[in-house]
Homo-oligomer: A and B are copies of this chain.
Amino acid sequence: MKQIPNKVYLNESDLPKQWYNIVADMKTKPSPYFSAKTGKVVSASDLEAIFPKSIIEQETCTDRYVDIPEPIMDMYRMMRPSPLCRAYRLEKALGTPAKIYYKYEGNNPSGSHKLNSAIPQAYFNMRDGIKRLTTETGAGQWGTALSVAATYYGLECTVYMVKVSARQKAYRRMIMEAYGANLIESPSELTEAGRKILKENPDNMGSLGIAISEAVEDAAGRADTNYALGSVMNHVCMHQTIIGQEAIKQFEMIDDYPDIVVACCGGGSNFSGTAFPFIRENLKGGKNTRIIAVEPSACPTMTKGKFAYDYGDVAGMTPICKMFTLGHDFMPPGIHAGGLRYHGMAPLVSQLYADGCFEATSAVQSDVFKAGLLFAKNEIIVPAPESCHAICGAIKEAEKCKETGEEKTILFTLSGNGYFDMLAYDKYLHGQTEDIAYDEKLIEQSLAKLPKIEM
């Protein structure tokens, strides 16, 4: 039998040169965004206050493939392809006949898959004449990625970081500053939204919802400044599809193809990037891969939420979109996987879930960290808490294979490394991790406040 290498690399010349836009292949097309102010469908010009034209075009694009401009390929080549790794040691530790592979997206300088979309967002803004980007960050993966991409394309970058995160995760703040970003603890005195909140409560430690409001207000108020979002929107999901496209090519190189694909799911960017190219193959016919999204039990957007129109942010400042949601009012408990603490789900992911294109499941924190440490000790990478959800899902499937004796091929995406999340591991190792579940009643209350949209 031919030995499959531990890591499969593509040649740089074989990198995907187009993003895959799943809208072209969707049975049910995604619903449009509605304006919170007018109740009407959001037009391109409504978005121009904070997004560049080329990004807005991508947001509503229906072409199956979108070319990746060469200056973006230049930067992609610095951090891609990401390796497809065979988890030989994890397989052995589990005693499973399954073949477990992981696509390692933490192997770039920003430490996560977020850079895949930060690069094109920074590039298109730069090309369209923008000098400065604003964004928000909680866990810090997105803020780090945008800082890296902004400095590469010569843009200023202001990151509104949730105050409590900035204080707890000082290293995250520091790495963004090392890449030249301007870090603002949110709520701040720099925006009306921030000032209003601080006036009510000077000790407010911030939330992602508030940080979004500040970043959007900042961008809307300056002609040279735009806003960049790290998940949820169609263009972000599309940028991430290089993950799955690369993986398919890498499986071709070793003459295999996954029976099961697993990814963690918060706002949907990493899941989209991993799963969409495999959903495409399923929709084409000929392939029948099981695709599994893993959510945190504390924030079970697809497994316990409702497919409905809702705001993207807590304050109700963003457009309204149709998605799986726990209600924009829902405040997820403070689990360590900060990147998965979002009340909604990317509209594209939501529609595909509603159409039965994949399965969704959820996991509690203690199982998630247990899986993450088993992985760390065998595959010698400490994974991000978000990515531990995918590991947990993959291990469950591998254990099923052990029971049935099936030699299934399982792929999961290891979306980021955990170097900046050591506090979370420290708490887990010292018995301080709670299995916080969602609160049925809170979700019910929150879902009762969904906006009314006339179709």
Cβ–Cβ contact B419 & A419, under 8 A: yes
Stretch with Cβ within 8 A of B (4 or more), from A37-45, A175-183, A263-271, A313-321 = A175-183
Contact residues in B for A111 (Cβ distance below 8 Å): 419
Tell me whether A420 and B423 are in contact in the complex, defined as CB-CB below 8 angstroms, given that A380-B78, A382-B109 are known contacts: no
Within 8 A of B (CB), among A394-438: 417-420, 422-423, 425-426, 429
Tell me whether A422 and B171 are in contact in the complex, defined as CB-CB below 8 angstroms, given that A6-B77, A377-B179 are known contacts: yes
Number of copies: 2
Tell me whether A380 and B175 are in contact in the complex, defined as CB-CB below 8 angstroms, given that A77-B6, A107-B107, A111-B419 are known contacts: no
Distance in angstroms between the alpha carbons of A89 and B380 in the assembled complex:
31
Cβ–Cβ contact A177 & B429, under 8 A: yes
Cβ–Cβ contact B382 & A175, under 8 A: yes
Tell me whether A422 and B381 are in contact in the complex, defined as CB-CB below 8 angstroms, given that A6-B77, A12-B5 are known contacts: no
Cβ–Cβ contact B9 & A9, under 8 A: yes
Nearest B residue to A148 via CB reads: B380
Within 8 A of B (CB), among A110-169: 110-111, 148, 151-152
Name A's interface SS: helix
Cβ–Cβ contact B419 & A174, under 8 A: no
Contact residues in B for A423 (Cβ distance below 8 Å): 171, 174
How far apart are A233's CB and chain B's nearest CB, in angstroms?
24
Contact residues in B for A11 (Cβ distance below 8 Å): 5
Tell me whether A422 and B6 are in contact in the complex, defined as CB-CB below 8 angstroms, given that A180-B377, A380-B148 are known contacts: no
Tell me whether A109 and B380 are in contact in the complex, defined as CB-CB below 8 angstroms, given that A171-B171, A373-B178, A422-B174 are known contacts: yes
Q: Tell me if A379 counts as interface (CB < 8 A to partner B).
A: yes
A380 in complex: contacting residue of B79, B377, B426, CB < 8 Å: B79
Cβ–Cβ contact A426 & B5, under 8 A: no
Within 8 A of B (CB), among A353-387: 373, 376-377, 379-382
Contact residues in B for A13 (Cβ distance below 8 Å): 5
- Report A's interface with B, CB cutoff 8 A: 5-7, 9, 11-13, 77-79, 89, 107-111, 148, 151-152, 170-171, 174-175, 177-180, 373, 376-377, 379-382, 417-420, 422-423, 425-426, 429
The 4 closest A-B pairs by CB, nearest first: A174-B422, A171-B422, A174-B426, A109-B381
- Contacts beyond the supplied A7-B12, A78-B89: 20 A-B pairs with Cβ under 8 Å: A5-B13, A107-B107, A109-B382, A109-B417, A151-B380, A152-B377, A171-B422, A174-B422, A174-B426, A175-B382, A175-B419, A175-B422, A175-B425, A177-B425, A177-B429, A178-B425, A178-B429, A179-B376, A179-B377, A419-B419
